[in-house]
Amino acid sequence: MRRVFAQSGIFRSLVLVVFISLQALAFGLEMDTSLLVQQSPTDGGIVTPEIGIHQIVFNSEVKIRAIAEPGYQFVYWLGDVVDPGSSSTIVIVDGPKIIIAVFERVAHEFITIEAGPQGSAGGQDRRIPNRQNIASGSGGRAVAGKRPHKPNVFPISDPFLVPGMADSEEMSDPENIEEIPEPATVLLVTFGTLFMSRAGKRKNKLRKI
């Protein structure tokens, strides 16, 4: 009989130990649920909770947030989250979870850099030359308060060194240029000549008579 009671007592003790161990294991699993947080690329932004493995209470809600660095933008979450497209959302930790915040680079915007003096601010302005500027050789750059650049002209003492220059100087001399009469003067001279010729003919006729 003693052996039977001893065996039954040992059995009960083993059952109790197993039961307590299972309860402790279940309680431990409930308290130590893992949440792994990652991001891609690593320099794309800041994630909260921070990158790594976190021990979270079983079946609890954890708020996660992703903030993009300058030059990047948040795209979406990879993993079991409430709203994958929102930078701020919630994870229900009902078991081990892995979530990843995904960022991407922002497309570069072309900025027009102006070159050329611009008042006292020291800014510069670069413009596309138009036909007039190309013809004048200014290259499309306008500078306030300055006259257009003029080429250096050196006088030539001997006009005969340049072909055709002597003729051009003779033509440019006011004494050598013939005055062109105005149309009204030409008409007056013409009518006066005709009138004088007719008057002379009449005088000749009167003399003959």
Q: Which domains does the chain have, with CATH numbers?
A: 2-105 (2.60.40), 113-153 (no CATH), 158-196 (no CATH)
Q: Which residue has the tokens 């409930």?
A: 30
Question: Can you name the residues that pair with 84 across neighbouring β-strands?
Answer: none
Taking Cα atoms as reference points, which of 108, 110, 106 lies closest to residue 45? 106
CA atoms within 13 A on the CB side of 33: 18
In one-letter notation, the amino acid at residue 76 is Y
pLDDT at res. 143: 45
> Would you call 86 helix, strand, or coil by DSSP?
coil
Are the C-beta atoms of residues 83 and 61 closer than 8 Å to each other?
Answer: no
For residue 73, the cross-strand partners are 104
Question: Which residue's entry shows tokens 């008579």?
Answer: 209
Secondary structure E strands in the chain: 33-40, 45-48, 52-56, 60-68, 72-78, 88-93, 97-105
Q: How many helices (H) and strands (E) does the chain have?
A: 4, 7
Distance from C-alpha of 177 to C-alpha of 156, rounded to nearest angstrom: 22
- Per-residue pLDDT tens, the chain, 209 aa: give them: 555 444 555 656 565 555 565 555 555 545 679 999 999 999 999 999 999 999 999 999 999 999 999 999 999 999 999 999 999 999 999 999 999 999 999 986 555 555 555 544 455 545 555 545 444 454 445 444 555 555 555 555 554 444 555 455 455 555 555 555 566 666 666 766 776 666 666 655 555 55
Residue in 151, 126, 153 with CA at minimum distance from that of residue 140? 126
The structure's pTM equals 0.41
- The rounded distance, in Å, linking the Cα atoms of 32 and 148 is 81
